[in-house]
Amino acid sequence: MQTIIKRRQADISRARFSTSLHPLLSKIYAGRNVFSDNEINTGLDKLLRPQDLKGLPAAVKLIIEALDKDQSILVIGDFDADGATSTALAVSALTALGSRSVDFLVPNRFEYGYGLTPEIVAVAATKKPHLIITVDNGISSLEGVEAANALGITVLVTDHHLPGRQLPAAAAIVNPNQPGCNFSSKNLAGVGVIFYLISAVRAELRAQQWFERKGVEEPNMAEFLDLVALGTVADVVPLDHNNRILVEQGLRRIRAGKTRPGIKQLLLIARRELHRVVSADLGFALGPRLNAAGRLDDMSLGIQCLLATDDFSGRELAMQMDELNQDRKAIESSMQREALLSLDKLDLSDGEGMPLGLCLYDEGWHQGVIGILASRIKDRYHRPVIAFAEGATVDEIKGSARSIQGLHIRDALDAVASRFPALLQKFGGHAMAAGLTLQRGHFEEFSQAFDQEVRRQLREEDLQAIVASDGELQSGDFNLTLAQLLRDAGPWGQHFPEPCFDGVFTLVQQRIVAEKHLKMVLAVDASGQQLVDAIAFNVDTSIWPNKALSKVKLAYKLDVNEFRGKQSVQLLVDYVEAC
């Protein structure tokens, strides 16, 4: 796989920032098509109003009726970090609004699969709910909603996934991606959708003087923004302006020590300091630990951690999730070795004959980890990848797909399903990630059909891995002031990437740490007197360290490293090659 460092084109002439903004930041923002102070203002007053969300009035009415009549409410979540944060937010916010009978249920991925299935409705019915609220799922649950309706259970769907050709017959649907919804941000995570809905419920209750009549203290919706930030970042949805506001406001609460005990303890276990937390910490430290519960065990554990009301219980639950994450890493490492050995046998080192759409399956693989495996193989070969594992029955396999820029993976699966109706039992997802179910006997036929569809959509240049750079820094730029400025200028994330730079450096020292990370000392000036530390994670140890090299070309982020109370500049290396 060829990797190319490509510098972003930034039209500075369109920029209308205040004169106080650092010139480098102006260039960086312009390279992300952000050109004004208003677009980088992350104040809560800049949030989009909820009124344009289709289905909102009906959904608000359902919840208020349930509160008025003291009806039982059951939240049906999903088994990933977005689903966990959405569930925790719904349960805690509804309780704060005065509900005395709210509970949650998350399908175990190994028993029931994803979403509001008829099977999970049967389990839900034993709790005798009047109202089911789905969070981060439900938009494709046609049969599940029908099953609930048949039992006389009202269903309110809140979701953000792309809908299919038919919508479920729910009493109300709130999803910015449903047909006819005019909400201008289509990028809300599931936790963002339920946050907006509960905010609208609170506003209506305030207008009805509910809190005074019921003697209930009106909740401050800002208290739930730590959950919104975590779920939004962990679900890797695009950080448009509205999502950046939600994430930044949640981060500010965490840094100020106003986060819930579960999030606090997860951060401490991950060795993150609360006052320095950035969006990358939510994505790379908290997200995997929270997801590990849903991948290997039951996401109820993660939700209970997020609902913990004291540090002791939060710590106990966070430690369990950390242990699960260690187990997940070991399983993933083993699966990745098996997958790479399988691909090596095909003698595809030069890329000749490699399917453009890779499908991998092993009956011993863990269903909860195939998504991460697909992502790792995708990164290595820069092709769309679907990894499969055993399904719920002996005849069924489940796949987790990850894509590259240029291929909308859910639409690609939809195209395959249209051309070969007998192949796919069910599927759903986003542009970059999706899930699907097949009959085991259809694996080879599906693999070929998927490869054909990928070949139809992708060009040769799409198969080159591109590292986007904001240009080259000068030797005087390698300082703590600039590094901290860039760190604070986010929140950075999907479609609003953290600033990345490129350059050629003199390699002074190099060594492997923690078995697979390359630690380097680099000279950043011509005289070789100005030195800076750099680290590249998960390098190929058959290539690095390379004692024959004196220079390296890097794509990197300028970061602040803090060790024993001392801060220093450190380069976080995204790509390294010999010079």
Q: Which of 288, 285, 316 is nearest to 301 (CA)?
A: 316
Answer yes or no: is 142 within a domain.
Answer: yes
Q: Return all residues near 427 (Cβ < 8 A) that are at least 6 apart.
A: 410, 413, 414, 417, 434, 435, 436, 437
pTM for this model (two decimals): 0.90
Does one domain contain both 97 and 214?
yes
- Locus of tokens 């953000």: 160
Among 442, 464, 486, residue at a domain's last position: 464
Q: In terms of domains, do 377 and 526 share one? A: no
Helix H or strand E segment including 29? helix 23-30
Q: What is the CATH number of the domain that holds 305?
A: 3.90.1640.30
Q: Is residue 481 situated within a structural domain?
A: yes
Q: Are residues 418 and 527 in the same domain?
A: no
Q: How many domains does the chain have?
A: 3
Q: What is the pLDDT of residues 379-438, one digit of tens each?
A: 888 999 999 999 878 899 999 999 998 999 999 999 999 999 999 988 887 788 889 999
Please say which residue of 414, 430, 464 terminates a domain.
Answer: 464
The answer to whether position 109 is within a domain reads yes
Q: Which class for 405: exposed (0-12), middle (13-18), buried (19 or more C-beta within 10 A)?
A: exposed
Give the separation between CA 89 and CA 123, rounded to whole angstroms. 22
Residues 510 and 450 in one domain: no
Angle at 291 between CA 286 and CA 297, to 5 degrees: 130
Angle at 154 between CA 92 and CA 141, to 5 degrees: 90
* Residue 332 domain flag: no
479 belongs to a structural domain? yes
Q: Specify whether 133 is located in the same domain as 172.
A: yes
Q: For residue 1, tell me if it sits in a domain.
A: no
- 565 and 437 in a common domain: no
Q: Are residues 354 and 299 in the same domain?
A: no
pLDDT value of position 329:
85
Output the CA torsion sign for 108, 109, 110, 112.
Answer: positive
Residues 155 and 209 in one domain: yes
Q: What is the pLDDT of residues 467-518, one digit of tens each?
A: 999 999 999 999 999 999 999 999 999 999 999 999 999 999 999 999 889 9
Tokens representing 531? 């030195």
CA 423 – CA 445 distance, rounded (Å): 8
Of 431, 464, 497, the residue at which a domain comes to its end is 464
Predicted pLDDT of residue 394: 84
Residue 202 within any structural domain of the chain: yes
Task: Give the pLDDT confidence of 238-259 residue by residue, as tens digits.
Answer: 999 999 999 999 999 999 999 9
CA distance 41 to 315: 35
108 and 173 fall within a common domain: yes
Cα–Cα distance for residue pair 523/95, rounded to 1 Å = 57
My answer on whether 56 and 182 are in the same domain is yes
CATH (domain of 564): 2.40.50.460
The residue with tokens 């005990």 is 261
Assigned domain for 42 exists: no
Task: Indicate whether 452 and 489 sit together in one domain.
Answer: no
Domain extent, residue 108, equals: 50-321
407 lies in the same domain as 475: no
Q: Which two tokens stand for residue 51?
A: 């009124």
Per DSSP, the residues of 41-64 read ---GGGSPPGGGSTTHHHHHHHHH
pLDDT in tens, the chain (579 residues): 678 999 999 999 999 998 889 999 999 999 999 999 999 999 999 999 999 999 999 999 999 999 999 999 999 998 899 999 999 999 999 999 999 999 999 987 667 667 899 999 999 999 999 999 999 999 999 999 999 999 999 999 999 998 988 999 999 999 999 999 999 999 999 999 999 999 999 999 999 999 999 999 999 999 999 999 999 999 999 999 999 999 999 999 999 999 999 999 999 999 999 999 999 999 999 999 998 888 887 889 999 999 999 999 999 999 999 999 899 888 888 888 888 887 766 544 444 567 899 999 999 999 889 988 999 899 888 999 999 999 878 899 999 999 998 999 999 999 999 999 999 988 887 788 889 999 999 999 999 999 999 999 998 788 888 999 999 999 999 999 999 999 999 999 999 999 999 999 999 999 999 988 999 999 998 888 899 999 999 898 889 999 999 999 999 999 999 888 889 999 999 999 998
**CB burial class (10 A; 0-12, 13-18, 19+) of residue 181?**
middle
Q: Which tokens go with 468?
A: 């986007």
